[in-house]
Amino acid sequence: DAKTTQPTSMDCAEGRAANLPCNHSTISGNEYVYWYRQIHSQGPQYIIHGLKNNETNEMASLIITEDRKSSTLILPHATLRDTAVYYCIVRFRDRGSTLGRLYFGRGTQLTVWP
Amino acid sequence: DSGVTQTPKHLITATGQRVTLRCSPRSGDLSVYWYQQSLDQGLQFLIQYYNGEERAKGNILERFSAQQFPDLHSELNLSSLELGDSALYFCASSEQGGFGNEKLFFGSGTQLSVL
């Protein structure tokens, strides 16, 4: 799986948008970009994923650059409960690949302040 | 609630002992994954089972073993425990074999403390 680079930590004021960047410059055309988060000692929680196009769901938006070498996770109105470690992961798409596992790096510790 | 159930939530044992961690995947999910999370190593993939068969292996020690039963629940067996095995152990499940477009759903983990 392609490696990702994320800032170690970020802060955000409650109610503001949190924009979490991720660099995946070695991503291949067969790899999805996934975002998970982990609230202190809980199991990781799926947020969103995408291949080429921008994606939005009830939790967040994912913006992927045209060259796919970087992406940004956007939490539009951050709350205190969004304080967590956010992991950006790239993952093979092909059926038959045995690389279904997720590789978790160190992620970004997002702290939302009141 | 992810739908993945792990038991027990906490386990305290002594060095040299053997323990079994249990995981029930979401209804209908065929794959089960085990991850270990320690403070210094982060989340490490251990092993994946798909429909009863081992599918992929990660950084799993020889003292550790796992299996997936016909009802699709899985057990992770840790033996000859050492202090360094103290960690959070997570189970996750996915619908199929973990292909690129599948989401993984994680349980709440088992906190293992080896004294």
State residue B100's pLDDT score.
65
Chain B nearest CA to A40, separation (Å):
11
Q: What is the pLDDT of residue B41?
A: 79
Q: What is the pLDDT of residue A92?
A: 64
Q: With the CA atoms of B22, B2, A20 and A110 taken in that order, what torsion angle do they form, in degrees rounded to the nearest 10?
A: -70
Closest to A106 (Cβ–Cβ): which among B35, B42, B109? B42
Give residue B40's pLDDT: 79
Give, for all 114 residues of chain A, the pLDDT tens digit: 558 999 999 999 999 999 999 999 888 887 889 999 999 889 999 999 999 889 999 999 999 999 999 999 999 999 999 999 999 988 765 555 445 567 788 899 999 999
**Is the Cβ pair B100, A93 closer than 8 Å?**
yes
The answer to whether the CB of B104 falls within 8 A of the CB of B2 is no
What pLDDT does residue A103 have?
79
Local structure of residue A5 (DSSP, 8 states): B
Partner-chain contact B55 A92, CB within 8 Å: no
Of B36, B42, B63, B56, nearest to B99 by C-alpha is: B56
How does residue B110 score in pLDDT terms, banded at 50, 70 and 90?
A: very high
Q: How many CB atoms lie within 10 A of CB B5?
A: 16
A102: helix, coil or strand? coil
Please state, in angstroms and as integers, the Cα–Cα distance from residue B83 to each residue in B21, B22, B87, B94, B112, following that order: 17, 21, 10, 31, 10
Q: Which residues of B touch A103 (CB under 8 A)?
A: 45
Instruction: Read off the pLDDT of residues B43-102 as tens digits, 9 standing for 90 and up.
Output: 898 999 999 999 888 889 999 999 999 999 999 999 999 999 999 999 999 987 766 677
Chain A residues closer than 8 Å to B99 by CB: 92-97, 100
Chain A residues with beta carbon closer than 8 angstroms to that of B43? 38, 44, 87, 104
- Cβ-defined contact of B100 to A98 (cutoff 8 Å): no
